[in-house]
């Protein structure tokens, strides 16, 4: 393994990809060249200083009970209705578990006719994202991850930004994710795991993106996966943090934070709604690979719209 670094202060050429990955070279660690917190005045936002610092140093934080139990119950019911929708089966944005009929993810929930469209615009989420990214924001991607009981499969270690940069053409690390727990996320049922501090470095991965990679990667990702030595090295500094979250709690994490989750062989599903907020100034360009852009349900490109936020209980229009 070669570990290279871009010299500090060396401005890259305009046409140079500062986050190259899957270009047929040996995997390596590159420095992050973007800020983590973009807020200009850190004390004027919706977050306590301690959470802003945690986001910057660790790459994530959790806000307990951001949504109340009645809101969660309403979301949970709509989630069940969405997954039972007979029109849904066979639809490209409904992704099954590998080798199994169980539902793994539903994408583009912010465009659904459901409370999940309202949730995407909720001030409790949008306010935090706008503050940390210090820009107008839009939804780059949204999804529901079911992690069904007994059969839910793992998500192997990856940085979301690596995929969004290479396959979607997201230029910089100016995006973050919010994962809203709809069921208990315990240590047992395959909760999100992070390598804290890993967002300060970019893992340039090996291989080349195959055609229609998403058809496979959404079930089991095999490109954009760091090699063992790099994962060991990242965890030797940051360790591994397991996120326990009760229904209604929200985990915010940086787009480049290394994360994954184990399978779920417990009889308890682990279901989360997941929204990716991107800065409007960081809107996607052409992908940084030779494949065509991914479909709109995975990456907003044609329908980019700055979000307006909505306050109050999500059940009240």
Q: Which residues pair with 278 in a beta bridge?
A: 138, 175
Cα–Cα distance between 311 and 82 in angstroms, integer?
Answer: 24
Total residues at interface with Fe ion (CB under 5 A): 1
Residue 223 CB-density burial (10 A; 0-12 exposed, 13-18 middle, 19+ buried):
buried
Residue 289 CB, nearest approach to Fe ion (Å) = 18
Contact 204, 27 (CB under 8 A): yes
- Tell me if 257 contacts ligand 6CS by CB under 6 A: no
Our CB check for ligand 6CS shows the closer of 166 and 182 to be 166
Contact 65, 187 (CB under 8 A): no
Residue 148 CB, nearest approach to ligand 6CS (Å) = 16
Contact 188, 52 (CB under 8 A): no
Phi–psi pair at 54, nearest 5 degrees: -65, -40
Q: Binding Fe ion by CB under 5 A: which of 34, 56, 160, 168?
A: 160
Q: Closest Cα partner for 37 from 28, 47, 29?
A: 47
Our CB check for Fe ion shows the closer of 97 and 160 to be 160
Residue 171 CB, nearest approach to Fe ion (Å) = 19
- Tell me if 158 contacts ligand 6CS by CB under 6 A: yes
Measured from the Cβ of residue 132, the count of other Cβ atoms closer than 10 Å reads: 28
Binding mask 191-230 for ligand 6CS (x = CB under 6 A): --------------------------xx--x---------
- Tell me if 185 contacts ligand 6CS by CB under 6 A: no
Contact 246, 64 (CB under 8 A): yes
Residue 107 CB, nearest approach to ligand 6CS (Å) = 9
Cα–Cα distance between 173 and 208 in angstroms, integer?
Answer: 21
- Tell me if 56 contacts ligand 6CS by CB under 6 A: no
Cα–Cα distance between 19 and 8 in angstroms, integer?
Answer: 15
Our CB check for Fe ion shows the closer of 71 and 261 to be 261
Residue 140 CB, nearest approach to Fe ion (Å) = 12
Query: Which of these ranges, 2-10, 111-119, 155-163, 238-246, lies near ligand 6CS under the rule CB under 6 A?
Result: 155-163
Query: Which of these ranges, 22-30, 54-62, 130-138, 156-164, lies near ligand 6CS under the rule CB under 6 A?
Result: 156-164
Residue 256 CB, nearest approach to ligand 6CS (Å) = 11
Phi–psi pair at 53, nearest 5 degrees: -65, -40
The option from ligand 6CS, Fe ion, none interacting with 97 (CB < 5 to 8 A, set by class) reads: none
- Tell me if 163 contacts ligand 6CS by CB under 6 A: yes
SS3 label, residue 218: coil
Q: Closest Cα partner for 135 from 123, 126, 147?
A: 126
Q: Which residues bind ligand 6CS (CB under 6 A)?
A: 141, 155, 158, 160, 163, 217-218, 221, 298
Q: Which residues bind Fe ion (CB under 5 A)?
A: 160
């Amino acid at each position: 393994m070669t570990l290279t670094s871009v010299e500090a202060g060396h401005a890259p050429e305009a046409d140079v990809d500062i986050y190259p990955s899957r270009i047929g070279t040996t995997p390596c660690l590159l420095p992050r060249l973007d800020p983590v917190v973009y807020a200009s005045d850190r004390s004027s936002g919706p977050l306590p200083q301690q959470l802003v610092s945690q986001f910057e140093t660790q790459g994530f934080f959790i806000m307990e009970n951001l949504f109340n139990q009645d809101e969660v119950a309403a979301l949970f019911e709509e989630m069940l209705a969405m997954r039972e929708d007979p029109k849904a089966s066979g639809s490209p944005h409904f992704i099954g578990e590998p080798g199994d009929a169980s539902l793994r993810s539903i994408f583009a929930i912010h465009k659904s006719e459901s409370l999940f469209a309202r949730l995407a615009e909720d001030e409790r989420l949008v306010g935090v994202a706008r503050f940390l990214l210090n820009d107008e924001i839009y939804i780059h991607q949204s999804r529901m991850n079911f992690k069904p009981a007994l059969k839910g499969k793992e998500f192997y270690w990856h940085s979301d930004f690596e995929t969004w940069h290479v396959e979607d053409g997201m230029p910089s690390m100016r995006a973050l994710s919010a994962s809203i727990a709809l069921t208990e996320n315990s240590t047992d049922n395959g909760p999100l795991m992070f390598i804290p501090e890993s967002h300060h470095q970019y893992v340039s991965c090996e291989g080349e993106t195959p055609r229609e990679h998403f058809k496979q990667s959404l079930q089991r990702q095999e490109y954009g996966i760091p090699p063992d030595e790099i994962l060991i090295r990242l965890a030797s500094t940051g360790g591994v943090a397991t996120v326990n979250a009760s229904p209604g709690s929200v985990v915010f994490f940086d787009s480049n934070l290394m994360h994954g989750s184990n399978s779920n062989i417990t009889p308890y599903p682990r279901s989360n709604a997941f929204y990716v907020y991107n800065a409007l100034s960081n809107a996607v360009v052409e992908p940084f690979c030779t494949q065509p852009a991914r479909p709109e349900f995975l990456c907003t490109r044609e329908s980019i719209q700055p979000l307006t936020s909505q306050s109050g209980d999500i059940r009240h229009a």
